Amino acid sequence: MSGKNVAVVGATGAVGREMIRTLERRNFPLKEIRLFASGRSQGKYLKFQGEDVMVEELTENSFDKQGIDIALFSAGGDVSLKFSPIAAKAGTVVVDNSSAWRMDENVPLVVPEVNSEDVKKHKGIIANPNCSTIQMVVALKPLYDYSKIKKVIVSTYQSVSGAGQKGMDELLAQTKDILDKKEIQISKFQKQIAFNLIPQIDVFTDNRFTKEEMKMVYETIKIMHDKNIQVTATCVRVPVLRSHSESLYVETEKPIGREKAVELFSKFPNLMIMDDIANKVYPTPVEAEDKFETYVGRIRDDLFNPNALNFWVVADNLLKGAASNAVQIAELL
């Protein structure tokens, strides 16, 4: 079988497992797949194309003379900071899903539909953007190409899977305990997440915005190559298992209008319009789950600013927000 030798680092995590599934679902041209995780997972087996593949412990020698062409990393920032340079030095191209390299000026930050040409600038490491940023810039790009964007005000409604398997487990456990009239346990999140909303994702910074919110600011500027885009974000964790939703107000240099926006969205790759309010057609997290595409709906002109649009964007955060975006980058490579 011809193709690339690909490694998935952090293979047993929620995103790692989706990376494996995505390589399979998209028929990535593989010669061999290698799976790496911490020592705790060494010796476990995961399925790929119906075959059992053993999980290996990630060590400093994992990439030495192994001939691994591409490594998809989803094992956290600390692991990436340590092992990505080791892999790159061995000749492997790393596509990293953590925040470790996103704002490094020597590391391209890539969403293939938006800035695929940046892949060519890599020096061994390519960063996968934050999940909430990815789906937003996919929706912004067709508008930006028609008229530069001046301002974005975004509120996110982010599912618990953004916090990994432990986040999903906590929502399910709390929901069951509440229904059973038992005392809930709070561990992964700052407050109760079942039947609740938490207006905090990641830690607060000195400017009173959270790190998650500031990621959306800085990453958008880097991906779009435009320091003049003003982004204000409020990121909220919601009791949804999977898929992030976003409400956007977008102000452009010249008027676009709903009709033109629909035309621009409809022609953009991997962006699907669900916008028929008469028949209650608009995207929801459940409808985006397990899909590679980004969905947009509730497209409307602003009431007061002729140069502004409001719309709603939904995508599966484990796929387009992480695994499938990384695999798309690998496809570009």
Q: What is the mean pLDDT of the chain?
A: 96
What separation in angstroms does the CA of 68 have from each of 24, 91, 93, 105, 115? 18, 8, 8, 25, 25
Work out the burial of residue 197: count CB atoms within 10 Å of its CB; fewer than 13 is exposed, 13-18 middle, 19 or more buried. exposed
Q: Is residue 1 very low, low, confident or very high in pLDDT (cuts 50, 70, 90)?
A: very low
Q: Indicate the range of 56-70, 88-102, 223-237, 306-320 predicted with least confidence.
A: 56-70
Q: How far is CA 312 from the centre of its chain?
A: 17
Residue 82's region, left for phi above 0, alpha for psi from -120 to 50, else beta, is alpha
Q: What is the DSSP letter of 204?
A: B
Provide the residue count of the chain: 333
> DSSP letter at 130?
P
Q: Of residues 122, 131, 225, 235, which has the active-site annotation?
A: 131
> Tell me, what's the pLDDT at 65?
78
Check: CB of residue 107 under 8 Å from CB of residue 81: no
pLDDT of residue 256: 98
Token pair 């929901």 is at which residue? Answer: 175
Q: Rounded mean pLDDT of 153-172?
A: 96
Q: What is the pLDDT of residues 250-304, one digit of tens each?
A: 999 999 999 999 999 999 999 999 999 999 999 999 999 999 999 999 999 999 9
What string of DSSP letters covers 239-292? S-SS-EEEEEEEEESS--HHHHHHHHHHTSTTEEE--BGGGTB---HHHHTT-S
**Computed from CA positions of residues 203, 205, 208, 211, in that sequence, does the dihedral angle turn out positive or negative?**
negative
Active-site entry in 122, 225, 235, 244: 244
The yes-or-no verdict on residue 2 having pLDDT over 90 is: no
- Residue 188 amino acid letter: K
- What is the helix (H) or strand (E) element at residue 9, kind and residue range? strand 4-9
Least confident of 16-20, 28-32, 40-44, 274-278: 40-44
| pLDDT score of 97 more than 50 | yes
In contact, 329 and 96? CB cutoff 8 Å: no
Is 131 in the active site?
yes
Show the domains of the chain with their CATH numbers.
4-128+323-332 (3.40.50.720), 133-317 (3.30.360.10)
Give the pLDDT mean for 73-88: 95
Query: Model pTM?
Result: 0.95
pLDDT tens-place string over residues 111-155: 999 999 999 999 999 999 999 999 999 999 999 999 999 999 999
